[in-house]
């Protein structure tokens, strides 16, 4: 499931992001990639523990906590520490790759990368190129969202970031280990949840919506791994 999430960061957040990045200590993004990905990864990244990275990371995590759609779609169990990258100049692209199945947090805890997420930190008008292109059985999906918006998609997906030919593309990226490993099951649960919400808004609480809520949670109970 590929899904866009609007307004993970609000205008005040985005102003704080721009201020935090004013003197950002960018380094080679290839330093955090495996041998195969490093061959096609050509971008810049903030050091994991620098002040700018910590500031932006906190705002992104707070924004995700405010988003019921993120929780419903990703059903997060663990979130890998968000990182910030930049595409510009000669460090301007990331070729086709599939993310590592498991990432390791600084303390040694492992996170399975069921869901990939990118939060765009500047507007599409700021740069040319730089589309996130996600491939699946239905073809290629090109994503380039307004600042503060996010996209989530299966971690199993082949994807790339096309070359930035003008300006700079700034983004925050991370992975989620979901309570539900299967993308197909997560999609069914998300569709169920969204349609149940629409029914509640139209009809209020009824015996039928109460019963369907029970069915949703029983499916989640059956499929979730905690």
Q: Are 35 and 130 found together in one domain? A: yes
**CATH code where residue 143 lies:** 2.60.120.620
Q: Average pLDDT of 144-155?
A: 98
Q: Are 167 and 109 found together in one domain? A: yes
Q: Are 88 and 172 found together in one domain? A: yes
Taking 80 as the threshold, does the pLDDT of residue 34 lie above it?
Answer: no
pLDDT in tens, 164-214: 999 999 999 999 999 999 999 999 999 999 999 999 999 999 999 999 999
Range of 199's domain? 183-223
Q: Are 111 and 57 found together in one domain? A: yes
Output the six-digit token pair for 77: 């169990």
pLDDT at position 38: 76
Task: Give 110-170 as a 3 state SS string.
Answer: EEECCEEEEEECCCHHHEEECCEEEEECCEEEEECCCCCCEEEEECCCEEEECCEEEEEEE
CB 92 within 8 A of CB 131: no
pLDDT in tens, 57-110: 999 999 999 999 999 999 999 999 999 999 999 999 999 999 999 999 988 999
Q: Are 191 and 109 found together in one domain? A: no
pLDDT at position 33: 67
The average confidence (pLDDT) of the chain is 95
pLDDT at position 173: 97
> For the chain, how many structural domains are there in total?
2
């Amino acid at each position: 499931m590929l899904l866009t999430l609007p307004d993970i960061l609000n205008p005040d957040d985005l102003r704080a992001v721009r201020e935090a990045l004013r003197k950002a200590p960018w380094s080679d993004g290839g330093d955090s990639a495996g041998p195969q990905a490093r061959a096609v990864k050509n971008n810049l990244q903030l050091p994991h523990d620098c002040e700018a990275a910590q500031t932006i990371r906190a705002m992104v995590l707070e924004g995700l906590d405010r988003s019921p759609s993120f929780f419903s779609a990703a059903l997060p169990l663990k979130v890998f520490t968000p990182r910030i990258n930049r595409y510009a100049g000669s460090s301007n692209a990331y070729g086709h790759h599939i993310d590592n199945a498991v990432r390791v947090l600084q303390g040694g805890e492992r996170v399975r990368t069921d869901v990939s997420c990118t939060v765009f930190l500047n507007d599409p008008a700021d740069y040319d190129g730089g589309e996130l292109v996600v491939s699946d059985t239905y073809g290629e999906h090109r994503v380039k969202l307004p600042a503060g918006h996010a996209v989530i998609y299966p971690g199993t997906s082949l994807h790339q970031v096309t070359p930035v030919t003008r300006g700079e593309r700034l983004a925050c990226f991370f992975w989620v280990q979901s309570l539900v490993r299967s993308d197909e099951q997560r999609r069914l649960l998300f569709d169920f949840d969204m349609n149940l919400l629409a029914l509640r808004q139209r009809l209020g609480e009824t015996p039928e919506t109460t019963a369907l809520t029970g069915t949703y949670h029983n499916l989640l109970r059956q499929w979730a791994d905690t």
